[in-house]
Structure 1
Amino acid sequence: MTVLRAVRLRKEYGRDAGLVRAVDEVDLEVRPGETVAIVGPSGCGKSTLLHLLGGLERPTGGEVHLADRRLDRMSETELSRMRRKALGFVFQAFHLVDELTARENVELPALLAGVPPRTARRRASALLERVGLADRATHLPAALSGGQRQRVAVARALIGRPLVVLADEPTGNLDSAATAAVLRLFGSLRAEGQTLVIVTHDSRTAATADRVITMRDGVLAGETRLNGGGGGLGTLAGLEG
């Protein structure tokens, strides 16, 4: 059973001599409750792949399936609705709204999805408590540290109770202490059965996953299964390429 699946997924930019195959015939399956880390050098296509999986970019070819729905065939309106209801996003640059408090930033996706304001406020407060920021609920992003802003972003990604959380370099702008706090949070999500797909160049982040997939030049070049991922590298099995 899979919750997220790519079939011969392609993304191309330019044409003729300037053609770039950012994602080249990628097949990928993610099971419910699984944490998958996608690693590789800068420019290998891993962020583009994540954006395709989340419906943030349109593929040149191939298929993207979320549960029993094909994202690549949806209209922009349908895609927007699906992202609000079934996907959560965490980005390296946080993408918080500067004029909104931490709680208002977390509430926002729920309100856009039609959740009643009182319910959205209750969910947001509970999520901020969960990520250790209940005492920062009324602070603006400028008054928060980088690690705190990223934890607000994770809470925001969870407000819609998504099938899958997609994270693009979530620790890329954080110091070691903030990275450790965010990784503990991802570890708790994994333990609770939240499906996670994380693009990262950080070995500490990759070590929290059940599977680590290596990407090079737009293709998937290998896979490492981490026995009991989430607490460290453990025993590596099934390494290809």
Structure 2
Amino acid sequence: MSGSALLRARGVTRWYGRGSALVRAVDEVDLEVPAGQTLAVMGPSGCGKSTLLHLLGGLQRPTDGEIWLAGHRIDTMSERALARLRRQHIGFVFQSFHLMDELTAVENVELAALLAGQSPRRARRRALDLLDRVGLADRARHLPSALSGGQRQRVAIARALSNEPLIVLADEPTGNLDSAATLEVLRLFEDLRTAGQTLVVVTHDARIAAIADRMISMRDGAFADDSRFAGAGNGSAAGTGTIYGGWR
């Protein structure tokens, strides 16, 4: 496989159960994602796309196969190293936002940076800058309960960017949003794509394809189709990054 890919998977499988109850959630998937590419993984509920995203982000371990990020194999890492990897180099965006209800928007965004060891002053400055970037500077001191669904998802995206991650992995990011809020989030993802942020978005929403360089369709745990669009990212927009410190 190409050494220039930021994210690589080879023969990745995730099976549950055994015998007649065996479920092939992800079935021998091969994947390369160059830096700077926006990839949409689409398919119906239960096709394995969310499981694949969790495997790529180190939230689950594969039954078999290899997963590499920026030249480092991550599926064999210790739990402590995986936790460090997720804190420092991967941004996650989830369908249900996963914001802390008792924290304000700016506190939610800066929390990831604080956990990664940034100073409080730097984390707060970065959080305010990101909230401004996603159009929520005037909502920085609001609790999640005072924000709309689209605003909460934009806070979650700002949080995912707080540590300048190598890659952002989004799991059904528009699944709980109405049409207007979905358009807000899609515009934000388009801005991230233009800026060269590497994105992998799993969804059943065809509108995601409008902001993608490439779209993979999944069925029964495997890739059914792989389409690349004109001007697709090929790694020139951003480097693969340097990962400092021990991962093991």
TM-score, normalised via structure 1 length: 0.94
Q: Within 2, Cα distance between the matches of 1:65 and 1:162?
A: 15
Aligned residue number for residue 174 of structure 2: 171
Aligned residue number for residue 151 of structure 1: 154
Residues 1:203 and 2:206 are matched in the alignment: yes
Deviation per CA, 1:199-225: give whole Å up to 9, x if none. Answer: 011111122100000100000111111
Q: Within 2, Cα distance between the matches of 1:109 and 1:75?
A: 21
Deviation per CA, 1:155-206: give whole Å up to 9, x if none. Answer: 0000010000000010111111111111110001000100000001111112
Asked whether the 8 Å contact 2:39–2:215 carries over to 1, the reply is yes
CA RMSD, 1 decimal: 1.0
Q: Which runs of 5+ in 1 are unaligned?
A: 231-241
Q: Within 1, Cα distance between the matches of 2:207 and 2:88?
A: 30
Once the two structures are superposed, the pairs formed by residues 132-151 of structure 1 within 5 Å of their partners are 132-151=135-154
Asked whether the 8 Å contact 1:208–1:229 carries over to 2, the reply is no
Aligned residue number for residue 42 of structure 1: 45
SS class of match (1:25): strand
SS class of match (2:61): coil
Q: Which runs of 4+ in 1 moved over 2 A?
A: none
Aligned residue number for residue 58 of structure 1: 61
Q: Within 1, Cα distance between the matches of 2:224 and 2:207?
A: 20
Asked whether the 8 Å contact 1:106–1:124 carries over to 2, the reply is yes
Q: Within 1, Cα distance between the matches of 2:117 and 2:155?
A: 21
SS class of match (1:72): coil
Asked whether the 8 Å contact 1:200–1:206 carries over to 2, the reply is no
Deviation per CA, 1:70-91: give whole Å up to 9, x if none. Answer: 1101000000000111100000
Aligned residue pair count: 230
Once the 2 structures are TM-superposed, how far is the Cα of residue 229 of structure 1 from its aligned partner? 6.3
Q: Within 2, Cα distance between the matches of 1:228 and 1:208?
A: 12
Q: Within 2, Cα distance between the matches of 1:160 and 1:57?
A: 22
Q: Within 1, Cα distance between the matches of 2:87 and 2:145?
A: 25
Q: Which runs of 5+ in 2 are unaligned?
A: 234-248
SS class of match (2:211): coil
Residues 1:16 and 2:16 are matched in the alignment: no
Greater relative contact order (CA < 8 Å, ≥ 6 in sequence):
2
Residues 1:127 and 2:130 are matched in the alignment: yes
Asked whether the 8 Å contact 2:15–2:22 carries over to 1, the reply is yes
Deviation per CA, 1:18-51: give whole Å up to 9, x if none. Answer: 1101000000000000000000111000000000
Residues 1:71 and 2:77 are matched in the alignment: no
Asked whether the 8 Å contact 2:170–2:200 carries over to 1, the reply is yes
Q: Which amino acid aligns with 2:27?
A: D
SS class of match (1:177): helix
SS class of match (1:93): coil
Aligned residue number for residue 86 of structure 1: 89
SS class of match (2:75): helix
Deviation per CA, 1:52-100: give whole Å up to 9, x if none. Answer: 0000011101011001111101000000000111100000000001011
Once the 2 structures are TM-superposed, how far is the Cα of residue 228 of structure 1 from its aligned partner? 3.8
Deviation per CA, 1:96-131: give whole Å up to 9, x if none. Answer: 010110000000110000000100000000000000
> Which shows bigger deviation, 50-59 or 203-212?
203-212
Once the two structures are superposed, the pairs formed by residues 194-233 of structure 1 within 5 Å of their partners are 194-228=197-231
